[in-house]
Amino acid sequence: MKIGVLKETQKGEKRVSISPKIVKQLVDKKFEVLVEKNAGKSASFKDSDYSSSGAQIESRGVVFKEADVLIKINPFDADDLKLVNEGQILMSQLFHKSQPELVKAIANTGASAFSLDAMPRISRAQDMDVLSSQSNLSGYKAVIRGAYEMTKIFPLMMTAAGTITPARVLVYGVGVAGLQAIATAKRLGAVVEATDIRPETKEQTESLGAKFITVENETDDVSEGGYAKVASEDYLNKQKEAVNKSLFQADLVITTAMIPGRKSPVLITKEQVDQMKNGAVIIDLAALQGGNCELSKMNKTVIHNGVKIIGTTIAPESVSTNASDLFAKNMFNFLTHLTEGSQFKWDLEEEITNATLIVYNGEIRQNGKID
């Protein structure tokens, strides 16, 4: 079986889906690997690194023509699909719930497609979960970006000229990105607080030395598939009241709340921003899906009443070497799970396959069945 590694074409993307180290492991598993020329350049991987690991370096057209499996990080676009052949297998983040037209277009090619962002949040799928591996880096980079944008330092510092008090950091959403943001901000010496709709995150927050802001919730049904569910308007109002004191004192706010296939919940309104400290910074990691701050704009910095609001995915592409290494390992584990003797098993009843296989031989699957 031939694995095709495509160069990412999305603007600003610097990652690559398979690293040279993973190429060697795939070759050892009897796969052939075709890598598009310069696919790993922006992640600091040279073509010679890939060829030394056993890959063939080819043009984009050849990779599309000859590969049995085509792998990308970002969704296949219209130009990609013009080159896809019937029977090929596509693997990428498809965000299929919010992109039904893309799914239809893939089905029209007669190909099969796995959506990497649909990986179920179960223990045996953890080492295949690209959202988790990349979110971990996002949380780290959010703090580093915040440190760069702030006009203060994080730690307590005692000097001959006086004492500098530590910065205050508030994190919305204690998932993978939020936990890493908490840990990174604490390591840098900040006073950290966090909030989340899921009560089980309180212990995780406190284990990292941060304060958890508890918000009363009338229902226990607050998570689904490992993600927080959409909160009620009543809960969001209670959250605002509970968090406002910390929000208005914060020097850095990091928001991470996203719900797959839906618009990000608005957790910080314009009215709240109006009451924040002059010079405060908001890093909104949910900006791609509308943002957790009402004023966020994707890939833009908005300054409102002295508060700097940065809308971003913080993309792990800013640490593209590490991000590519982790993504590639996820892909190796996923491919190993799906195949036997370098051929696909197509076990459609198996939980991981069932959740991630969105198109099968040109037919769209819904809830584990052909639509």
For the annotated catalytic residues, the residue numbers are 121, 126, 129, 132, 227
Distance CA 294, CA 264 (A): 10
H or E, element range at 192: strand 191-195
* Helical axes 176-187 vs 130-149, angle rounded to 10°: 40
Q: Is 66 exposed, middle or buried (0-12, 13-18, 19+ CB in 10 A)?
A: middle
Q: 132 is written with which tokens?
A: 């988790």
Q: Return the residue matching tokens 């990497």.
A: 116
**CB neighbours (10 Å) of residue 24?**
16
Q: 237 is written with which tokens?
A: 């109002």
**Among 85, 132, 128, residue whose Cα is nearest residue 109:** 85
Beta carbons within 8 Å of 283's beta carbon, 6+ residues apart: 142, 145, 146, 149, 252, 253, 254, 255, 310, 312, 314
Distance CA 336, CA 81 (A): 25
- Interior angle at CA 317, CA 105 and CA 111, nearest 5: 20
Q: Return the residue matching tokens 């089980």.
A: 200
Contact indicator for 359, 365 with CB cutoff of 8 Å:
yes
**CB neighbours (10 Å) of residue 179?**
23
Q: 201 is written with which tokens?
A: 């995150």
Cα 69 to chain centroid, rounded? 23
Q: 200 is written with which tokens?
A: 């089980």
**Among 161, 304, 173, 314, residue whose Cα is nearest residue 231:** 173
What residue type is 264 in one-letter code? S
State phi, psi for 304 to the nearest 5 degrees: -130, 120
Strand partners, 370: 365
